[in-house]
Amino acid sequence: MIYTDTRDSSVKVTFKQAVMGGMNPATGGLYMPLSFPKLESCLLNKDPAPSFRDVAFNMAKPYVEGEIPDNDLVSLIQDAYPFQPKIVPLDSISYVLELFHGPTCAFKDFGARFMARAMSYFNKSEDTPLHILVATSGDTGSAVGSAFHGVSGLDVTILYPDGKISPLQEKQLSTFTGNVRALKVKGTFDDCQKLVKTAFTDDELRKKLRLSSANSINIARLLPQSFYYMYASLVVRNRCALDNKISNPSIIMVVPSGNFGNLTSGLIAKEMGAPIAGFTAATNSNRTIPDWIATGDYNARPSVETFANAMDVGAPSNYERIKAMYTLETVRSLFASYWQNNEGIIAGIKSCNDKTGYIIDPHGAIGWSAWNDIRNGAMEQLMNGQKNDFNVPGLTPNVPVWAQAVKDKKAVGIILETASPAKFGSIVKDAIGKEPPMPSRLGQVMRLPDMAVSMENDYNMFKDWLLANR
């Protein structure tokens, strides 16, 4: 497979070059495969649905062909995924896709563990370490740190905004030792991301350090996240015959979105043949993408703090990939968009628990609220001409092609639950009066000492630190 650049279509690189480079230092663009090969119909139509690992192997194979032999790819996937996503029905047409059963209790384990093993595979013949830079607004850093910790030949520096993530999330970031280091930056996630992006375009720095990324900037994190979209859509399509008697359902993936890498992974799955009718981009008050869909104008802005902090992104990187894949008209045909403020997040956690008994995290709560509104008349109101104000929380004024299926009661929703609610215990308790159960692997990390280094939001200071600590 050949990969190109979102800013220069003449660029042609291999999977290894795309993974190890992270992004194109000459343009600042993001790598994308030239094509999205369809999976064979025998796999797509298998009943029962194929296993998660079978899906992962068959989806990954065309993207690494000629660079990672099949036997090595099988081993890589087996090592990366001793866990799998779980699909939990909330009612007859609503499902939660639980993505928090990995070591750090967040969906980013799926991408980070595949990426770490791919990088380690490609780095075996190198004499110098590869230095991974990653900015995080919540769960990315801990997933990357866990995936790379102790892996020889790879060093990791994690940047996170000081005081702007939950205490448990910070513990997961600040307690690594050895080849993984954390910097708490006096600024926002966007400031952290800018420091990382600036480093990648710094020729002087790149002559001294081999750099790569581990955000959804990196294609090796983006591609494996598409595995669970394919898996979930196949499983839900097959079980609909029993759950709701809907044949050939229109499956809507409801995706809590900040940097929009996760949703872009869903687009890749759809291109590869996943039976997905469309998507709902559900976010918090950092509503850059919903505003773009509503108005046609993309205006990056400073991020604001919310209870769904992993989505506190004002300048989402993967807008570039979405724009490279589709016109705005096509995006509008595929996407509904929805946003909520903090009050709506609390209400969504309570509503989900009251109606279904399920305890959902603040990010998933926005997804639940979006789907609950869509299937209970909000989409039909848009179809009937209601002009929603995109500045007001809720469904923004766009009618996707799958709206008719919602009206005809032929749609089902899969809400991505991207992190364990235990990571946001105090917020959940404020909503439902009790804290969610704490997984043992999260309880253990709370007892570890903090090792993070304070850092000003200053690129030269960051660069000097990198060179002094390589």
Closest CA to 236 of 19, 413, 70, 46: 413
- Is residue 320 a part of any domain in this protein? yes
Q: Does residue 224 lie in a domain region? A: yes
Contacts with 78 (C-beta within 8 Å, 6 or more apart), sequence order: 53
Beta strands in 323-432 (DSSP E): 335-339, 394-395, 411-417
pLDDT, tens digit, for every residue of 20-35? Answer: 888 888 888 899 999 9
- Is the per-residue pLDDT at 261 higher than 90? no
295 within a domain of the structure (yes/no)? yes
Over residues 86-139, the pLDDT tens digits come to 999 999 999 999 999 999 899 989 999 999 999 989 988 888 888 999 888 767
CATH (domain of 244): 3.40.50.1100
Q: What's the pLDDT at 20?
A: 87
389 in a structural domain: yes
* Residue range 450-463: mean pLDDT, rounded: 94
2 pLDDT tier (thresholds 50, 70, 90):
very high
Distance CA 103, CA 359 (A): 20
Q: What is the pLDDT of residue 219?
A: 92
Number of other residues whose CB lies within 10 A of the CB of residue 326:
15
pLDDT tens per residue across span 153-211: 889 999 999 988 878 888 888 888 899 999 999 998 889 989 998 998 899 999 999 88
d(CA 371, CA 429): 23
- Quote the pLDDT of residue 138: 66
Spatial distance between the Cα atoms of 414 and 402, rounded to a whole number of angstroms: 14
pLDDT at 371: 98
The domain total for the chain is 1
Average pLDDT score over residue span 244-252: 94
Distance of CA 239 to the CA centre of its chain: 25
Work out the number of other CB atoms within 10 angstroms of the CB of residue 89.
16
Asked if pLDDT for residue 141 goes beyond 90, the answer is no
- Residue 347 within a domain: yes
Q: What percent of the chain has pLDDT over 90?
A: 70
Residue 449 domain-assigned? no
Name residues whose C-beta falls within 8 Å of residue 332's C-beta, 6 or more positions apart in sequence. 293, 398, 400
Nearest to 346 by CA among 375, 379, 369, 328: 369
Whether 461 is covered by a domain: the verdict is no
Range of the domain at 412: 220-438
* Overall pTM > 0.85: yes
What tens digit of pLDDT does each residue of 315-329 get?
888 898 999 999 999
Q: Is residue 215 part of a domain?
A: no
Question: Whole-number mean pLDDT of the chain?
Answer: 92
